[in-house]
Amino acid sequence: MNKLTNCFRLLIALVLTGLLLGCNEDTPEKLAAQTAVKIESGEECHLCGMIITNYPGPKGQLYERGRTQTHKFCSTRDMFAYLLDPENTHNIQTAYVHDMAVTPWDHPDDETYIDARKAWYVVGSNKKGAMGPTLGSFATEKNAKAFTEINGGQLYTFAQLDLELISSMGF
Ligand code: ZN
Ligand code: CU1
Protein backbone atom coordinates (compact mmCIF):
# COMPACT_ATOMS: atom_id res chain seq x y z
CA MET A 1 0.00 0.00 0.00
CA ASN A 2 2.73 2.38 1.14
CA LYS A 3 4.86 1.47 -1.83
CA LEU A 4 2.01 2.19 -4.16
CA THR A 5 1.37 5.61 -2.61
CA ASN A 6 5.03 6.51 -3.00
CA CYS A 7 4.99 5.36 -6.56
CA PHE A 8 1.91 7.47 -7.17
CA ARG A 9 3.56 10.51 -5.56
CA LEU A 10 6.62 10.10 -7.71
CA LEU A 11 4.42 9.92 -10.77
CA ILE A 12 2.62 13.14 -9.86
CA ALA A 13 5.95 14.86 -9.20
CA LEU A 14 7.21 13.77 -12.59
CA VAL A 15 4.10 15.00 -14.35
CA LEU A 16 4.25 18.36 -12.57
CA THR A 17 7.93 18.79 -13.42
CA GLY A 18 7.11 18.01 -17.02
CA LEU A 19 4.36 20.61 -17.06
CA LEU A 20 6.59 23.25 -15.48
CA LEU A 21 9.40 22.57 -17.92
CA GLY A 22 6.92 22.74 -20.75
CA CYS A 23 5.70 26.14 -19.59
CA ASN A 24 9.17 27.58 -19.23
CA GLU A 25 10.31 26.55 -22.63
CA ASP A 26 11.44 29.77 -24.27
CA THR A 27 11.16 29.02 -27.94
CA PRO A 28 12.18 31.85 -30.28
CA GLU A 29 8.50 32.10 -31.24
CA LYS A 30 7.41 32.63 -27.64
CA LEU A 31 10.11 35.18 -26.94
CA ALA A 32 9.22 37.13 -30.06
CA ALA A 33 5.57 37.12 -29.08
CA GLN A 34 6.01 38.25 -25.51
CA THR A 35 8.12 41.36 -25.90
CA ALA A 36 8.51 44.28 -28.21
CA VAL A 37 11.84 44.22 -29.98
CA LYS A 38 14.26 46.96 -30.92
CA ILE A 39 13.88 48.40 -34.39
CA GLU A 40 17.36 48.78 -35.85
CA SER A 41 18.26 51.58 -38.24
CA GLY A 42 17.93 50.30 -41.78
CA GLU A 43 15.01 47.95 -41.04
CA GLU A 44 12.13 48.16 -43.48
CA CYS A 45 8.41 48.41 -42.89
CA HIS A 46 6.74 45.05 -43.47
CA LEU A 47 3.93 46.72 -45.40
CA CYS A 48 5.47 49.53 -47.45
CA GLY A 49 9.23 48.89 -47.31
CA MET A 50 10.20 52.33 -46.01
CA ILE A 51 13.15 52.55 -43.59
CA ILE A 52 11.30 52.66 -40.28
CA THR A 53 13.61 54.75 -38.11
CA ASN A 54 14.00 57.48 -40.75
CA TYR A 55 10.52 58.82 -40.01
CA PRO A 56 8.68 60.48 -37.12
CA GLY A 57 5.63 59.20 -35.29
CA PRO A 58 4.63 56.05 -33.43
CA LYS A 59 5.77 52.70 -34.87
CA GLY A 60 4.10 49.34 -34.62
CA GLN A 61 5.25 45.75 -34.45
CA LEU A 62 3.34 42.52 -34.23
CA TYR A 63 3.90 38.84 -33.85
CA GLU A 64 2.05 36.37 -36.05
CA ARG A 65 1.54 32.77 -34.97
CA GLY A 66 4.05 30.37 -36.46
CA ARG A 67 6.69 32.98 -37.30
CA THR A 68 10.12 33.41 -35.80
CA GLN A 69 10.37 37.11 -36.64
CA THR A 70 8.38 40.08 -35.48
CA HIS A 71 6.82 42.18 -38.27
CA LYS A 72 7.77 45.83 -37.90
CA PHE A 73 5.97 48.83 -39.35
CA CYS A 74 6.93 52.41 -40.21
CA SER A 75 3.76 53.73 -38.60
CA THR A 76 0.76 52.72 -36.53
CA ARG A 77 -1.22 53.38 -39.70
CA ASP A 78 0.62 50.70 -41.65
CA MET A 79 0.52 48.27 -38.74
CA PHE A 80 -3.27 48.57 -38.51
CA ALA A 81 -3.68 48.32 -42.28
CA TYR A 82 -1.98 44.92 -41.93
CA LEU A 83 -3.45 43.85 -38.57
CA LEU A 84 -7.05 44.62 -39.49
CA ASP A 85 -6.84 42.89 -42.87
CA PRO A 86 -9.15 39.85 -42.59
CA GLU A 87 -6.38 37.71 -44.09
CA ASN A 88 -4.05 38.43 -41.16
CA THR A 89 -6.14 39.43 -38.22
CA HIS A 90 -6.85 35.96 -36.78
CA ASN A 91 -3.14 35.01 -36.90
CA ILE A 92 -1.90 37.91 -34.87
CA GLN A 93 -0.91 36.97 -31.38
CA THR A 94 0.55 40.18 -29.95
CA ALA A 95 1.00 43.73 -31.19
CA TYR A 96 2.88 46.70 -29.75
CA VAL A 97 2.80 50.45 -30.36
CA HIS A 98 4.69 53.38 -28.87
CA ASP A 99 3.22 55.25 -25.93
CA MET A 100 3.55 58.75 -27.33
CA ALA A 101 2.93 60.37 -23.94
CA VAL A 102 6.39 59.32 -22.76
CA THR A 103 8.53 59.57 -25.89
CA PRO A 104 9.26 62.34 -28.44
CA TRP A 105 7.07 62.28 -31.56
CA ASP A 106 10.00 62.67 -33.93
CA HIS A 107 12.13 59.86 -32.46
CA PRO A 108 10.04 57.42 -30.43
CA ASP A 109 12.13 55.30 -28.11
CA ASP A 110 12.42 51.49 -28.28
CA GLU A 111 11.78 51.23 -24.54
CA THR A 112 8.32 52.75 -24.72
CA TYR A 113 6.27 50.08 -26.47
CA ILE A 114 2.91 49.11 -24.98
CA ASP A 115 0.36 46.40 -25.70
CA ALA A 116 -1.53 47.64 -28.78
CA ARG A 117 -4.76 45.97 -27.64
CA LYS A 118 -4.83 48.01 -24.43
CA ALA A 119 -3.80 51.31 -25.99
CA TRP A 120 -5.89 54.39 -26.80
CA TYR A 121 -5.67 55.90 -30.28
CA VAL A 122 -6.11 59.34 -31.78
CA VAL A 123 -7.14 59.53 -35.44
CA GLY A 124 -7.31 62.81 -37.36
CA SER A 125 -4.74 64.84 -35.42
CA ASN A 126 -2.41 67.30 -37.11
CA LYS A 127 0.65 65.15 -36.22
CA LYS A 128 2.06 63.18 -39.15
CA GLY A 129 3.72 59.78 -39.21
CA ALA A 130 5.87 58.04 -41.80
CA MET A 131 2.94 57.69 -44.23
CA GLY A 132 1.26 61.02 -43.47
CA PRO A 133 -1.88 60.87 -41.33
CA THR A 134 -1.40 58.29 -38.60
CA LEU A 135 -2.77 57.05 -35.29
CA GLY A 136 -1.33 58.59 -32.14
CA SER A 137 -1.02 55.78 -29.58
CA PHE A 138 -1.19 56.14 -25.80
CA ALA A 139 -1.24 53.96 -22.70
CA THR A 140 -4.00 55.94 -21.01
CA GLU A 141 -7.23 57.64 -22.07
CA LYS A 142 -6.18 60.71 -20.10
CA ASN A 143 -2.98 61.17 -22.11
CA ALA A 144 -4.74 60.46 -25.40
CA LYS A 145 -7.31 63.13 -24.54
CA ALA A 146 -4.62 65.62 -23.57
CA PHE A 147 -3.01 65.01 -26.99
CA THR A 148 -6.30 65.76 -28.83
CA GLU A 149 -6.61 69.04 -26.94
CA ILE A 150 -3.34 70.22 -28.47
CA ASN A 151 -3.31 68.39 -31.83
CA GLY A 152 -6.96 67.63 -32.57
CA GLY A 153 -8.40 64.26 -33.59
CA GLN A 154 -10.82 61.66 -32.25
CA LEU A 155 -10.31 59.04 -29.54
CA TYR A 156 -10.60 55.31 -30.28
CA THR A 157 -9.98 52.11 -28.39
CA PHE A 158 -8.34 49.16 -30.15
CA ALA A 159 -11.71 47.44 -30.55
CA GLN A 160 -13.19 50.49 -32.27
CA LEU A 161 -10.61 50.55 -35.06
CA ASP A 162 -11.51 49.00 -38.39
CA LEU A 163 -10.08 48.81 -41.88
CA GLU A 164 -12.58 51.33 -43.22
CA LEU A 165 -11.38 53.95 -40.74
CA ILE A 166 -7.73 53.24 -41.58
CA SER A 167 -8.37 53.51 -45.34
CA SER A 168 -10.32 56.73 -44.85
CA MET A 169 -7.24 58.36 -43.31
CA GLY A 170 -5.53 58.47 -46.71
CA PHE A 171 -1.80 59.01 -47.13
ZN1 ZN B 1 5.08 51.37 -43.77
CU1 CU1 C 1 5.64 53.92 -45.84
Tens-place pLDDT, residues 138-166: 999 999 999 999 999 999 999 999 999 99
Which whole number is the average pLDDT over 79-89? 97
C-alpha 3 to ligand 2 mean position (Å): 68
Nearest by Cα to 33 from 72, 64, 73: 64
In whole numbers, what is the pLDDT of the chain averaged over residues? 89
Q: Which residues are within 5 Å of ligand 2 (an ion), measured at CB?
A: 48, 50, 74, 131
Q: What residues flank ion ligand 1 with Cβ within 5 A? A: 45, 47-48, 74, 78
Instruction: Name every residue whose Cβ is closer than 8 Å to that of residue 70 and which is 6 or more positions away in sequence.
Output: 32, 36, 37, 61, 62, 63
How many whole angstroms separate alpha carbon 169 and alpha carbon 171?
7
The answer to whether 10 touches 2, Cβ cutoff 8 Å, is no
Is the model's pTM score more than 0.75?
yes
Residue 40: how many CB atoms within 10 A of its CB?
10
Q: How far away, in angstroms, is 47 Cα from ligand 2 center?
A: 7
pLDDT in tens, 24-63: 566 766 766 788 999 999 999 999 999 999 999 999 999 9
Distance 58 CA to ligand 2 centre (A): 13
